[in-house]
A and B are shown apart, each in its own frame.
Chain A
Amino acid sequence: MSNETKTMDESAIVKKKNTDEAVESGLAKLTQERIKNTINQVLQSETGPRFKAYVETCMHCGLCADACLYFLSNDRDPSYSPAGKVKQTIWEMLEKKGEVSIEFLRRAVHIAHTECNVCKRCSMYCPFGIDIAYLMLLVRRICHKLEITPLYIQDTVNSHSATMNQMWVKEDEWIDTLQWQEEDAREEFENLRIPLDKAGADIMYSVIAPEPKFQAGLIYQMATIMHAAGVNWTMPSTPGWDNSNMAMFTGDNEISGRIARAFYETAARLKVKRVVMGECGHAFRSTYDVGNRWIGWAMPPFEVVHALEFYHELLTSGRIKIAQKYKKTVTLHDPCNVSRGRGLHEMAREVTNMLCDSFIEMTPNREHNYCCGAGGGVINCGPPYKGERMVNNRVKAEQLKATGAEVLIAPCHNCHSGLEDIIHHYNLNMEVKFLGDIIFETMEKKIYQSGD
């Protein structure tokens, strides 16, 4: 009797959580033996003393809860607290020595993939600095090995695997898009080039696949900035041009390593001095912090520079000049991967102030900023989970609303898309922009001719 009640309760919990066909068909194929072996293999052979220390040292104090946007947005529901999510996943896997149910895994994949942005804010709230994001990524690794990764993000990984880019962009489409942007830009800017495969250039510029797929204007913008600044740059025509890495977020470390390797090898082939990345956070995390480790580099073999840092350099060195500062009131969202992940938050403020007349801080900010709710692969789990994502990031909406700013600057693609969803859902009447958008609007668009 009590067992029946328990099962009913469990299914009631599961019902209100979304799922998708990849998760469901994956779960349907699982056997108890495979579940047990996979969990134990990952927890025993793929972890080490760090994992042990994290699990053994956590005092169950609950202080991490206040760090988490999911917990705060869901009226302090403890099942959304960081340690609460570890309890519902890793602790039980350890306690039951991998003998967990299908129901448990359905919940675990949902938690790890859609209720945690692996933003690491909670590590600044845990007095011991326990890396809870790492534990959630470990759950995703287990889900990957059990083949129950959510459909949409798995599709991006499949694309990575087959094409080395995230969006099934074919090689000729990629080159064609760059040439199309170059052609368009040349109508406005004399002699503008998007140099392909120029060996020995100072800079390789690298973007994520959504740019050629549906935001080609961003490549156009960057080309005009490079043109105005007179930068000796190039873009690769071959696979390795896409710096995004969704496999990093699904626990498919093998594909993730292949993506990072293709990226570094492309830079090596072009003999560039350094790589500038577009305004993307997770891609930066992949090439600066994660992908390099998997393939054996302590730090990236090339200097990897986020667009934000590059803009700062161009503006402070006077290589691009601002004709007229941006008039609308702006606020700035610190993406986890460039602020907490790379400490670029002060630079972001300097760039914003160089570009804009009126800058309003949101609170909290810098390393302590609330996550966009989209990053860490959460938005990439796609439409089945969008409604939840809106509910799960109410605090972000409140934080944005309190600024009263007209424009929200977000120097990260995932943040950008996530924040647009939030703004639309909560009717915030704000416009989301990249720093590049504002530079393009405000800079002196001088016509550069070589030899000037």
Chain B
Amino acid sequence: MNAFIDFIMGPMVWIAFLIFIFGLILKIVLIIKDVNAREPYIYSYMTLKHSLRSIAAWSIPFFPKSTRQSPVFYGVSYIFHLLLFLVPIFLTSHIVLVNEAFQVSWIALDDSIADILTIMVGLGLVFFIIRRIMVPEVKYLTSCKDYLLILIVALPFITGFIAYHQFFLYRPMVIAHVISGEIMLIYIPFSKFSHMIVAPLTRAYMGSEFGNVRHAKDW
């Protein structure tokens, strides 16, 4: 059992990171290979300029007209996605671990601020859950798989929060935190979480069709 826990807390972390990074790279490579094999004509329409134009327009908060029509959702969503990356990357305890392994470090969030931000991530997830239950057009599209995605994101934050405060079961909570973090990382390339790299591609394609062929804006 101890050997298993050592594995989970040690090598598995690196394995999870490698699967996450190389999984995403592989995903892009497979998509490009598939495009080359089956839909190479889309390159006749795609331009870097129009791809970036569309991605940029959709990256500016509340710039696309439709984002202004759903200000609450987009407000929560922008903050949620930002914190999803910021909190783990700039958390003191994570930086300490990286420093031990690679002797590099960077500026860290104050722990009390990190605490508040973690709660905000949690509230964001609660918002998404409520929205899935309450808003008819979202409820209509929702299945248990969508809640599973929320759960997978929620677990590392919840367990990390409890472990940091040492509310209860400190050691098991740390282990649960690491396992859930690993699950999330590994799950990303093989699930809808891959929208982190596929969405810019679909946006780039639609942006090119709109910009290059249709001479119209897509935001």
B64 CB contact (under 8 Å) in A50, A83, A124: A124
| Given A67-B66, A340-B216, A341-B214, A127-B199 contact (CB < 8 Å) | yes
Nearest A residue (CB) for B193 = A59
Q: Report the interface size for chain A: residues with CB under 8 A from the other chain.
A: 46
* A60 in contact with B142 (CB, 8 Å): yes
In the complex, identify which listed stretch (A74-82, A320-328, A398-406, A425-433) lies at the interface while the others stay far away: A74-82
Residues of the B chain whose Cβ atoms lie less than 8 Å from the Cβ of A368 = 65
* B39 in contact with A50 (CB, 8 Å): yes
- Inter-chain CA distance A50–B41, complex, in Å, is 12
* A57 in contact with B198 (CB, 8 Å): yes
Residues of the A chain whose Cβ atoms lie less than 8 Å from the Cβ of B156 = none
B137 CB contact (under 8 Å) in A58, A78, A123, A131: A78
| Given A49-B39, A62-B140, A57-B215 contact (CB < 8 Å) | no
A66 CB contact (under 8 Å) in B44, B66, B210, B213: B66
* A129 in contact with B202 (CB, 8 Å): yes
| Given A57-B194, A76-B137, A130-B202 contact (CB < 8 Å) | yes
Residues of the B chain whose Cβ atoms lie less than 8 Å from the Cβ of A50 = 35, 39, 42, 202, 205
- Inter-chain CA distance A59–B143, complex, in Å, is 11
B219 part of interface (Cβ distance < 8 Å): yes
* A128 in contact with B203 (CB, 8 Å): yes
A61 CB contact (under 8 Å) in B138, B209, B210, B213: B138
- Inter-chain CA distance A63–B216, complex, in Å, is 21
Instruction: Name the prevailing secondary structure of the B interface residues.
Output: helix
A298 CB contact (under 8 Å) in B45, B218, B219: B45
* A129 in contact with B54 (CB, 8 Å): yes
B34 CB contact (under 8 Å) in A48, A57, A76, A299: A48
Give the contacts of A339-371 with B (CB-CB under 8 A).
339-343, 345, 364, 367-368
* B192 in contact with A57 (CB, 8 Å): yes
B171 part of interface (Cβ distance < 8 Å): no
Give the contacts of B175-213 with A (CB-CB under 8 A).
192, 194-195, 198-199, 201-203, 205-207, 209-210, 213
Task: Identify the A interface with B (CB < 8 A).
Answer: 48-50, 52-54, 56-63, 65-67, 71, 76, 78-79, 81, 83-84, 87, 123-125, 127-131, 289, 293, 298-299, 339-343, 345, 364, 367-368
Q: What are 13 pairs between A and B in contact, CB < 8 Å?
A: A59-B146, A66-B66, A78-B139, A83-B141, A123-B206, A124-B64, A124-B218, A127-B64, A127-B203, A342-B216, A345-B216, A367-B216, A367-B218
In the complex, the 6 A-B pairs of residues with the closest C-beta atoms, listed nearest first: A129-B206, A343-B215, A78-B140, A48-B38, A62-B138, A298-B44
